[in-house]
Structure 1
Amino acid sequence: MLRLFNVATAVIVALAWMVGAMAWRYATRRPVSGLLLLTLGILTVRTAFTLVTGNAFVYFVQPVFADFAVAVIFLGSLWTSRPVIARLAPDFYPMSASVAARPEMRALFRRLTLMWGLVILVKGGITLWLLETLSTANFVLIKGGAIITLTLTAAVVTLVWAVVVGRQQGLIHRK
């Protein structure tokens, strides 16, 4: 939409896509998650602000601040007894409190929390750098590929690392 029309059309279409996703979930009687509602609220504010100011930079820089805040949360949680990944892990792999308390698992959670905190920080830095150095159209084209590559690489590292530790701990058996 940015290439075919302009920034205003592109942000309106992005918001319409999100509204359509919510409408589809309602129409098919699927639950609408709190995350989807939160995303819709944030996207609505971003879109309105962009339309009022006519400034695309403001639209695209807001996620950078969110990335930096999330990175601080991840990295800050390393000074707690349960870093962020330790809190999220049971959502991805059911485990008892005794398994999660194993020293090897606690070390994995700390290392993954550190890795993801740094990945999110780098993601925000790359996004800001691209936003400041590229045209809006080139930013939109390049940012997606760069960030997806970074995120998928981190996800693969997370999965491999977790499987290795899971096997060492007897939680995952070879077939």
Structure 2
Amino acid sequence: MPETDQRTARPTVRPPHGFELPPLTVMLRCALPRFIEGVIAPVAVFYAAFVLLGLNGGLVAAVLWVYGGIAWRKVRGHPVPGMLLLAALGVTVRAALAAATGSPVVYFLQPTLGTLLVSMTFLASVPLNRPLAQKIATDMVPMPEAFLRQERVRRFFLRISLLWALVFAANAAISLWVLFHESIGTYLWVRTGLVTALGAAAAGVSILGFNRCLRHVGAAPAAL
């Protein structure tokens, strides 16, 4: 039996997908601290130490920042995200290679090439009809299989996977050019601004597009 809206005395129909996205402001409040901790702060910490103490000082500061974040969570009894553990492993390897070669370019080359690999992964998932954007979205927000099987939803995730492939490719291409043609300071600020601007724009398009997809899917039964 459909429920009744007491204000209008009309029956209401629940959307078939059975879930709703949290408000955008709530999502931003949750994502912003992690973005600052994982993207903005490490760049600022490394660059400040690099200017004051040289390459080795910057490398040590970057490693201490990541492991300090893990230790802080452990002391407070908070779970440590898997991505943070992977970041700790990555920054350790990068710092060791940069210290061995004496080149800060080596430290920043790996994540830039990693960005290019992520772009290729998003792109490859489209012709395979297994869009990576769908996998990431369902990891964050569980979705019913009946909803995911709908043609409109499938097309949406394919298009969003292409969008993110282009975003990561542009990020990697510009970052590589700046890394090899400009100073490390210029690279840090350009890459940070690039990641922030492109990521925010792509995330906004993704969220707005998904909300639109939800509205279309939710309105479909009403037309029957």
Match of 1:119 in 2: 167
TM-score by length of 2: 0.73
SS for the counterpart of 2:50 is coil
Pick from 89, 93, 111 the counterpart of residue 63 of structure 1: 111
Identity, % of aligned pairs?
Answer: 31
- Structure 2 distance, partners of 1:138, 1:4, is 17
- Within-5 A mapping of 1:94-173: 94-170=142-218
Q: Deviations over 1:63-95 (max 9, x none)?
A: 121111111111111122321112122233332
Pick from 88, 98, 111 the counterpart of residue 50 of structure 1: 98
Q: Which runs of 4+ in 1 moved over 2 A?
A: 2-5, 91-94
Pick from 68, 90, 94 the counterpart of residue 138 of structure 2: 90
Unaligned runs of at least 5 residues, structure 1: none
Amino acid at match of 2:120: V
Match of 2:54 in 1: 6
Aligned residue pairs total: 171
- The structure with higher relative contact order (CA 8 Å, sep 6+) is 2
SS for the counterpart of 1:10 is helix
Q: Which has the larger radius of gyration?
A: 2
TM-score by length of 1: 0.92
SS for the counterpart of 1:3 is helix
Pick from 50, 54, 74 the counterpart of residue 122 of structure 2: 74
* Contact kept in structure 1, 2:129 and 2:158, CA below 8 Å: no
| RMSD (Å) for aligned C-alpha atoms | 1.4
SS for the counterpart of 2:52 is coil
- Structure 1 distance, partners of 2:208, 2:57, is 41
Shift of 1:11: 1.6
SS for the counterpart of 1:81 is coil
Unaligned runs of at least 5 residues, structure 2: 1-48, 220-224
Q: Deviations over 1:114-154 (max 9, x none)?
A: 10111111111111011112111221122211221111111
